[in-house]
A and B are shown apart, each in its own frame.
Chain A
């Protein structure tokens, strides 16, 4: 039996005239943290949407080795996508009247350090706080797979760093299989076990990250990945 948790085989995705993905192959193990980096328009979001079953591939297959792939996969989008007419608890439980759901929502809000805001509305929060609520919401249904589509892009460097640690902590504790899309190679090197670079619709390049995450190692990996994305020109400038 194939023990790959997520396997993407010969996937092609066509939008009208644009080929977003062409013959893409990628396997991800259970519990792995993969960062997806690449140029804008390279098809990262498209790949995530296929894994989340928000769209179907034109050709090829996306297989997830679990009973109910759809409900065990949750997406945290680039925008927080909270419902402004519901307070935080209801945003997590979608207004469920169930006591157990409400209790769980509060517990998760505590986890992202927003327990005191449980009865407030999203408009009363800062950008970073809203992203934490979105993270808590993604955890409501106990997913096995967490898909993060540039969720930290809009945050300032400090808040961003705190969110990175929070996400890492939660993913490790719950043994989540995580795919993080990011523009920031530094962030990718800091957080992931493995970095997948999407150079264009068809070309993937992979880089394994060292488990020892000190600043030096992160810098080396980030540089290598950046050179890979930008091609030789980057290296030439760097070492000229």
Chain B
């Protein structure tokens, strides 16, 4: 009796896992196939939307010529540097405001006010100050990514369970230990939320900045292609932005599951 019950349950389990892996890919694949078929049948003129295969071939030839890798690495460099600067400043501000009441009173309301300005509205000002060069684009990314990291670090640190801090104090932990053993790990999930949000902001900011003031990067490639009606490359650039966004989110996610392993354990995540 028991066996006949146990077996189907086992079967269901082995079936479920690959299905979970396959399901997310179904929609993109169907869209791609439909797109290609419509192009082949001539429903979609290549001046409106070139076929996926044409875009892919364009990607290959641009890679072979070295143009794509060069522009890609410039964009990546700006994105990373901007994020490091903006995220770093955001983290430090969030840290000091979260830890010290005086700093919070001194800085928080001013930062909140500044935050309400959409950072893309600063583009003209930044171009006037810094010109159309590296530092302008990196600064824009830094400004855009600073706020999500700041807000989440600040919120994460200031909402750490007071009971845990009291417990740490009663066990005579030093200030440094209190931070590294209790406050920082408790705030880390919230900090990661900020970083993942900042990654999204990072790419949009970069796309806008590169499209407006282009010299040599993915945005420049797209703009240039636009001038020559090179639809394949325009689409290619959009696809590359999508892939970059997805990849950076995946990287963030894997860091998250590495550092927050304890969150996935236990009984209450059924």
Binding between chains A and B: yes
A1 and B243 CA atoms in complex are apart in Å by 79
A139 and B228 CA atoms in complex are apart in Å by 76
Q: Which of B184-200 contact A (CB under 8 A)?
A: 185-186, 188
Q: Are B182 and A54 closer than 8 Å at their CB atoms?
A: no
Task: Please pick, from A79, A122, A137, the residue contacting B163 in the complex, using a CB distance under 8 A.
Answer: A79
Q: Are B181 and A95 closer than 8 Å at their CB atoms?
A: yes
- Residues 83-98 of chain A, each 1 if its beta carbon lies under 8 Å from chain B, else 0: 1111000000011000
A75 and B263 CA atoms in complex are apart in Å by 27
| A77 in the interface (beta carbon within 8 A) | yes
| B81 in the interface (beta carbon within 8 A) | no
| A135 in the interface (beta carbon within 8 A) | no
User: Which residues of the other chain, B, contact A137 by a CB distance below 8 angstroms?
Assistant: 171
B172 nearest in chain A by CB position: A71
B260 nearest in chain A by CB position: A85
Q: Are A94 and B173 closer than 8 Å at their CB atoms?
A: yes
With A94-B181, A123-B267 as known contacts, state yes or no: A77 contacts B167, CB within 8 Å.
yes
- Residues 43-59 of chain A, each 1 if its beta carbon lies under 8 Å from chain B, else 0: 00000000010100000
Interface size on A, residues (CB 8 A): 21
Q: Is the interface of A mostly helix, strand, loop or mixed?
A: loop
With A71-B172, A83-B182 as known contacts, state yes or no: A123 contacts B167, CB within 8 Å.
no
Task: Please pick, from A75, A86, A95, A121, the residue contacting B170 in the complex, using a CB distance under 8 A.
Answer: A75
Interface size on B, residues (CB 8 A): 22
| A81 in the interface (beta carbon within 8 A) | yes
Q: Are A81 and B167 closer than 8 Å at their CB atoms?
A: yes
Q: Are A121 and B163 closer than 8 Å at their CB atoms?
A: no
User: Which residues of the other chain, A, contact B177 by a CB distance below 8 angstroms?
Assistant: 94
Q: Are A70 and B181 closer than 8 Å at their CB atoms?
A: no
With A52-B170, A71-B172 as known contacts, state yes or no: A81 contacts B164, CB within 8 Å.
yes
In the assembled complex, 13 residue pairs joining A and B whose CB atoms fall closer than 8 Å, in A order, are A70-B172, A74-B170, A75-B170, A77-B163, A84-B263, A85-B186, A85-B260, A86-B262, A94-B173, A94-B181, A121-B265, A123-B267, A124-B265
In the complex, the 4 A-B pairs of residues with the closest C-beta atoms, listed nearest first? A123-B266, A81-B167, A85-B185, A85-B262
Task: Using A121-B262, A123-B268 as known contacts, list a sample of 19 further A-B pairs with CB atoms less than 8 Å apart, ordered by residue number in A.
Answer: A70-B172, A74-B170, A77-B163, A77-B167, A79-B163, A81-B163, A81-B164, A83-B181, A85-B186, A85-B262, A94-B173, A94-B181, A95-B181, A121-B266, A122-B266, A123-B265, A123-B267, A124-B265, A124-B267
